[in-house]
Structure 1
Amino acid sequence: MRYRLYQSADFAALYAVEELCFAPPYRFSRAYMRRLVRSANCSTWIAEEGGELIGFAIVEWGQGAEENSAYIQTIEVTPSQRGLGIGGELLRRVEDSAVAAGAGAIWLHVDAENSAAIRLYESRGYVRQRREEHYYARYRAAFVYGKSLTSC
């Protein structure tokens, strides 16, 4: 397994993972995903096995109530590779990137029915802050989780 930062040549493979992981209307658009990976305020980590992109994570700076916070836009792992610790390693890397960028806190939304992701975040010290109804395309609820990075 190899982890590295995103390169522009990764976009097609990255978006193929997005299509595997999320069906419309929950999927990010190509345009939105391009904006994220090109943004100077984002860091995108790639997980690859044998040269194949099998997961990624995107964190964005300056999101939320505080200027010095970071927001995890997404962590995605192909269905065949889930449960192997890849998501956890991607989470560690985006947290490290957020700390390096000066973020004092990090937060995210997670589908209220995604028990595997919820377990991961809670095991890493994230605290549920609230529930937002109709967050995902007006159909599904999300939990908002946050974590202080100053004690990491």
Structure 2
Amino acid sequence: MHFECFFIRPALLPFGLVVLDIVPRAHAVSFFCQAFVLAGEKAKRQAVKGFGGFGGHDKEAFIMKRMNHDLCCRAALAFNASHPAPSGAVFRLADVADVDSIMEIGNACYASDQPERHKIRHFVTGAHAAIFLLSLEGKDAGYVHLEAHSGRGNIYLNTTAVLPAYRGKGLGALLYDLTSYVARKAEASSVWCHVETGNEAGIYLLKKHGYIIERTEDPYYDDGKGAYVMRKKMKT
């Protein structure tokens, strides 16, 4: 089990949460999230402001991270109720136990551009990134990797991936819908990403979900291929 230290000054949390000592990371995030929901607006602002110095990053990364545990539970329910999603589609926030599954999906989708194991481990344990796994009928079928960019007020959509055997079932759309859901809850101003200029299917799906092409970066990938920078502005 992964452990992290959360050192929280009482003055930062006037709504009753005093100190989280050395606790499992997921439990700490869940506990703080529950306390945060019960707090008043002033208390919330003070808590977020206090965490602005935690790790040297601004509030965007912390806001996204503290809501992830809750989002994983609520997102699936919301999607099942409002989207024509396959029966049994469930999201969860990935942790270190899911690294092998993420590697398997990534290798099947991006064999030449798959992050190394230690980097994926960093993504699922770090404070400023999140990987949501999507399972269907008990099998991990895809994931979306998001990052909060300090000081910019936006979220970077790093990767979406769906195993070839599960494509054509609407799972890719679910990944983009979840991304927008997280961005709204994190009060992000926008979500942006890179997509290969020759990836017509990916560009089409991004446009369908409200992303527009801002510029071209060529070359961008290690193999010399170019990429579009695409962005979706979130409604305030």
State the TM-score, normalized to the length of structure 1. 0.89
Match of 1:60 among 147, 162, 173: 147
Match of 1:3 among 78, 86, 91: 91
> Structure 1 residue 142: deviation in Å?
0.9
Match of 2:187 among 99, 102, 122: 102
What stretches of structure 2 of length at least 5 have no aligned partner?
A: 1-88
1:79 aligned to 2:164?
yes
> Structure 1 residue 95: deviation in Å?
1.7
Deviations 1:17-40 (A, max 9, x none): 01111122x222222222222222
> Structure 1 residue 6: deviation in Å?
1.7
RMSD of aligned Cα (Å): 1.6
Helix, strand or coil: the match of 1:121?
Answer: helix
Helix, strand or coil: the match of 1:74?
Answer: strand
Partner residue, 1:125? 210
- 1:43/1:94 contact within 8 Å kept: no
| Distance in 1 separating the partners of 2:118 and 2:179 | 22
- 1:61/1:98 contact within 8 Å kept: no
1:123 maps to a residue whose letter is K
Partner residue, 2:111? 23
Partner residue, 1:45? 132
**Structure 1 outlier segments of 4+, above 6 Å:** none
Helix, strand or coil: the match of 1:102?
Answer: coil
Helix, strand or coil: the match of 1:134?
Answer: coil
Helix, strand or coil: the match of 2:220?
Answer: strand
Partner residue, 1:149? 234
> Structure 1 residue 144: deviation in Å?
0.6
Partner residue, 2:122? 35
How many pairs were matched up? 148
Helix, strand or coil: the match of 1:28?
Answer: coil
> Structure 1 residue 83: deviation in Å?
2.2
| Distance in 1 separating the partners of 2:116 and 2:200 | 25
More helix by share: 2
> Structure 1 residue 9: deviation in Å?
1.5
| Distance in 2 separating the partners of 1:96 and 1:43 | 14
Structure with the bigger RCO (C-alpha within 8 Å, sep 6+) is 1
> Structure 1 residue 51: deviation in Å?
1.8
| Distance in 2 separating the partners of 1:50 and 1:124 | 26
| Distance in 1 separating the partners of 2:133 and 2:195 | 20
More strand by share: 1
